[in-house]
Amino acid sequence: MIYATPTMTPVLTRQLDELTELRAALGSEVATRSRWMGSLRREVRASSIESSTSIEGFSVSPEEALALADGRDVADRGQENRQAVACYARAMDHVGTMGVDPSFRWVGRVILDLHFDACHFQRDNDPGLWRTGPIGVTAPDGSLEYEGPEGEQVAALMDEVLDWLADGDLELDVVVRAAMAHLHIVSVHPFRDGNGRVARIVQSLVLAREGLAAPEFFSIEEYLGSHTQEYYAALREVQGGSYRPERDATRWVAFCVDAHLAQARQRLAQIERAAARWAYLEELVKGRKWPERLIIALEQSIVGGTERSRYGEEAEVSPATASADFRRLLDAGLVEQRGRGRNISYLASKSLHHAIARWRCTSGTPSGTPRRLA
């Protein structure tokens, strides 16, 4: 037996209608071909990955998260925090592929492989295999906070979950189905470790299978990472301390819908800020009579930093030209250099960040003309 999807209350129905409108607006913005959308997409994806892994105690800096999510090498990559982020990023890459696969089917190996992707650095926790023994979640004081079903029940329960993912409640809003998928997996707790990570990854996969453009913009990992106590409280209220699928899941669905509403509003605000930032950089480069490609270098330096090879690839310039462009930006005080030799990277300077902030305050709109350029 697994949890039944609750009947939508009038409040939830109104919220889902609002969310449908926000998703449409967000989908329209994401579908634009603006040059800055690629950088924002990277930033959102890395932030979602870092937020989800931080819930389970794996923490890296925003710059490291961007590099790891891009598959770039980071110093001391063997460290467990970085491995967790890199593995989660690999699992989300897998989600992106499965999201558009026309032959996709919900089978056990889908979830097992996502667990292997996300947790293969934790070899002692049997990545890619269902657990066979008992499991419990302990509270900070050492008490038992949640007890999962017995190990011999896991395979059968996951078969029920997979049947539901394939055919259950298909008429409902995808956000509700994604929330229930999360609840099913985190409640069955089918793995020795990484259950929360996999539940959040599968929630994103349900959204991706709906055909949403750039599903990273529609996921709620970042919200969950910044509201972890509320996240756990909603789960505890529904679960009641053990696997009790006869309990009402309304509180959990309501929490997830609230999370989606807050996240969608935040994403729309991020898009507006990114558009404003790009407009400022266009004015800056134009005012200095520099080649337009330097906008790309500046944008990359702001969003987590960049290297000559990555800039050269996107701007389609030679290594020598890329080096000359960064020398120009260094001389202008717009970027700062970090590292040496092959490990050189470039980050936006504090003066550039301050100039953008001042411009946004004085211009009034994303497309306004700056009163003063850096």
Whether residue 256 is found in the same domain as residue 305: no
123: DSSP letter: G
Identify which of 54, 83, 84, 89 has the alpha carbon closest to the alpha carbon of residue 70.
89
pLDDT tier, 34 (very low <50, low <70, confident <90, very high otherwise): confident
Q: Evaluate if residue 8 carries a pLDDT over 60.
A: yes
145: DSSP letter: E
Q: Which residues of 17-48 are buried (b: 16+ CB within 10 A; e: fewer)?
A: eebeebbeebeebbeeeeebbebbbbbbbbbb
Whether residue 227 is found in the same domain as residue 296: no
- What average pLDDT does the chain have? 90
Owning domain of residue 101 = 34-268
The runs of H, that is alpha helices, within 168-249 are 174-188, 195-209, 221-226, 228-239
- What would the mean pLDDT of 160-179 be, rounded to a whole number? 96
242: DSSP letter: B
* Neighbour count for residue 229 (Cβ, 10 Å): 7
Please tell me the total count of domains within the chain.
2
Whether residue 238 is found in the same domain as residue 318: no
Q: Quick check: pTM over 0.85?
A: yes
Tens of pLDDT, residues 286-340: 999 999 999 999 999 998 888 899 899 989 999 999 999 999 999 999 999 998 8
Looking at residue 366, what is its pLDDT?
45
Tens of pLDDT, residues 192-242: 999 999 999 999 999 999 876 567 788 899 999 999 999 999 999 999 999
d(CA 315, CA 322): 9
Looking at residue 372, what is its pLDDT?
39
Looking at residue 371, what is its pLDDT?
37
Domain boundary among 240, 268, 296: 268
Tens of pLDDT, residues 42-79: 888 889 999 999 998 998 888 788 888 877 765 555 58
Q: Within the chain, what is the greatest distance between any pair of CA atoms?
A: 70
Looking at residue 369, what is its pLDDT?
38
CB neighbours of 289 closer than 8 A, spacing ≥ 6?
none
CATH number reported for the structural domain that contains residue 217 in this entry: 1.10.3290.10
